[in-house]
Structure 1
Amino acid sequence: MTQDIFSTQDELRDLIDAYAYLGDEKKISEQMRLFTEDAVYQVYMGDFLVANVSGTANLEKEFNGHAALVKTYFTMNGQHTVHVGEDTASGISFSQIKMIREPEGKRNITDYSVRYEDQYVRQNGKWFVKERIGYFVIIEERLLA
């Protein structure tokens, strides 16, 4: 591997980590800057497509609506494998996401085990997410003590 490939891998890892950090902090408008304007974001829960959003304006509305229902997010990123072209790349990453909600005054925690399949594009020397598909493979919800 060349130094350019290593640098690109680091940049792409930083991109998905920034996505997690900003999401956990509910900095949605800043998170949108990680996507291309025409980005596509899809979510599967098991075999069912539950979200299919295009464009950062629509995506920001969707994320803000969801964030309003969640008191606390906590994300841990795991493996991240990428295949790099000149100005495009694809990647698979894994995340554990915890969300605390308080419906009816009760604290519930939901644990999500997620596999993301991403398409990235480099524009003006910077990498962005062009497409992100989240596969929520394991979902566990329980009352938080």
Structure 2
Amino acid sequence: MSIQELEDRILLRELVDNVSILGDQKDFNAQLNLFAEDALSETFAEGALVLEVKGREEMAKAFSKFLKEYETVYHFNGQHVVTYNGDEASGTCYCFITLISSENGKKVKTYIGAVYHDEYIRQDGRWLIAKRIGNFEWQEKMLLTNRKI
């Protein structure tokens, strides 16, 4: 493996992590700059397509609409495997997502197990996500309590 490939692998991992961090911060303008202008994003929940958007403008609307009901968002990225080919690459990243919202005056915590399949492209010397397929494999919802341990 060349030094350039090692550097690119680090940059790709940082790209994926920064997309998650900016999503957690609900900074969609900065987040969308990490996607190619005409990027495609598809989201599946338990095998069914629940969202398909193309381009940064559609993504901004869809992402903000989805996350507006959540007070707190945390993505924890785990394994990230990349197949590298010059100025293009593909990768799979496992992610554990925690969402906090309010329902009927009570705090609710939702856990999601997700797997992201990405296609990356290097444009103007920087890596961007050209396509992201998110598979939300499972979801668990529970009431938060104020109990102290």
User: Would the TM-score normalized by the shorter structure come out above 0.5?
Assistant: yes
The worse-fitting range, judged by mean Cα deviation, of 61-70 and 123-132 is 61-70
SS at match of 2:21: helix
- Map 1:64-143 → 2, pairs under 5 A: 64-143=64-143
Counterpart code for 1:45? A
Q: Which residue of 2 aligns with 1:43?
A: 43
Q: Is the 2:47–2:137 contact (alpha carbons within 8 Å) kept by the matching residues of 1?
A: no
Larger radius of gyration between Structure 1 and Structure 2:
2
Amino acid at match of 1:97: I
Q: By how many angstroms is 1:86 displaced?
A: 1.2
The structural deviation recorded for 1:135 is 0.5
Q: Report the equivalent of 1:34.
A: 34
- Tell me if structure 1 keeps the 8 A contact 2:97–2:114: yes
Moved over 2 A (4+): none
Give TM-score scaled by structure 1 length.
Answer: 0.98
Gaps of at least 5 residues in structure 2 are none
Q: Over residues 74-133 of structure 1, what are the superposed CA-to-partner deviations in whole Å (9 max), with x where a residue is unaligned?
A: 111100000111111000000000001112211111100100000000001100000000
Distance in 2 between the 1:121 and 1:28 partners?
Answer: 20
- Equivalent residue number for residue 20 of structure 2: 20
What per-residue deviation string (whole Å, max 9, x for no partner) do you get for residues 18-65 of structure 1? 011101111111100000010000111111000011111000001111
In the alignment, structure 1 segments of 5+ residues that lack a partner are none
Query: What CA distance in whole angstroms lies between the structure 2 residues aligned with 1:13 and 1:77?
Result: 10
> Aligned AA for 2:15?
L
State the TM-score, normalizing by the size of structure 2: 0.95
